[in-house]
Amino acid sequence: MDQYRVFGNPIKQSRSPFIHQLFAKQTQQQLNYQSEYVEVEQFEETIKSFIKSGAKGANITVPFKERAMVLCDQLTERAQLAGAVNTLTFVEGKICGDNTDGEGLVKDLLNNNIPLKNSRILLLGAGGAAKGVLLPLLAQAPESIVIANRTVSKAEDLIKKFKNDKLSASEFDALGETKFSLIINATSASLTGNVPPITKECVANTYCYDMVYGQELTPFLLWAKEHGATKVIDGLGMLVGQAAESFRVWRNVLPEIAPVLKQLRTKGGS
C-alpha cells in the first residue's frame, strides 16, 4: 500500500492522519498515512530513510518547513515564493516540494462565501504562514492587500520579494480606523492569548479570519465578534483545505472538504 506520513515536532496534536484517512475512504484510494515525531537534529536523515522505504510522499509541519525546502530537487512556484514546503512528493528518486497552505486558505474563504475579487484585505503577520498565502490570495484579484506586522521590516521585505503594486506594508498603529473587507490573522498571537493591536473600528462590519483554531473561538475572533465583525472564522477549514490540496498533488483527485470539516468539528478528530 502507498505510504504517506506527516513529520513534525511536536506531532501528537496532528489531525492530518485522521483527515487523510477520511479523504482516502471518500475517494476510494488505498493508502496508509501516519504521523511521526522527529528529533530536531534528525530531520534530514528521517526523510531520506522514509524515501528509501519506498514511500510516496510526506507532509511537513513545524518546525521543519524551511529545512524541507532545502532537501527538494524541484519546487513549485508557490513553494518558492513561500520559502517553505509542507508537501513532498517522491518521484523516481527525486523530491518535489510544494506549499498547499495558501490554497487551503483560499478554498476555505471561498467555501465561507467571502468575496475576494476587488476586496481590500488586511493580512496581520509576516511569518511563514503569511508568506505562503500571498500568491494564492493575489490570484483571486483583490483590490489591495495591506500586510501589517509587529516587526514592520519583515512586512516590507515581503513586499519587495513579491513586487506587486497591490501589496503594501504597514505598522499596526498606522492602520488607525481604516476599513477592510477582510482581515486575516496570520500571526501566532492567538496561541499565547493575545490579540494583534488593531482598532475595534477596523474589525466592525468586516469578515475576520484567524489561521489558529481550537475548541473555543480564538482571542482575536472573540474580540472581533464583540466589536461587530460580520463573520468570524477559524483556521480549521484551512487545515482541511491544505490537506485536500496535498492529497490532490499526490493522488490526482481532489477530495471534498465539507464532510471532513464537519466530522472534525463534531468529533474533534485525532
Residues lying near ligand NDP in the complex (CB under 6 A) are found at 101, 104, 125-130, 149-151, 154, 186-189, 191-192, 194, 196, 211-213, 235, 238-239, 242
CA distance 180 to 168: 14
Nearer to ligand NDP by Cβ, of 51 and 87: the residue is 87
Q: Which residue's beta carbon is nearest to the bound ligand NDP?
A: 127
**Residue spans of alpha helices (H) in 142-187:** 152-162
**Catalytic residue (choose from 65, 107, 163, 225):** 65
Q: What angle do CA 67, 127, 255 make, to 5 degrees?
A: 75
Nearer to ligand NDP, 51 or 121 (CB): 121
Write down the least CB distance from residue 211 to ligand NDP, Å: 4
Helix (H) / strand (E) element for 91: namely strand 87-91
Q: How far is the CB of 174 from ligand NDP (least distance, A)?
A: 15
65 carries an active-site annotation: yes
In whole angstroms, the minimum distance from the beta carbon of 147 to ligand NDP comes to: 9
Query: Cβ neighbours of residue 178 under 8 Å, at least 6 residues apart?
Result: 122, 146, 202
CB of 52 to ligand NDP, least distance (A): 29
Question: How many other C-beta atoms are found inside a 10 Å radius of the C-beta of residue 78?
Answer: 21
* Gap between the Cα atoms of 3 and 153, Å rounded: 42
Q: Which is nearer to ligand NDP, 6 or 189 (CB)?
A: 189
Catalytic residues: 65
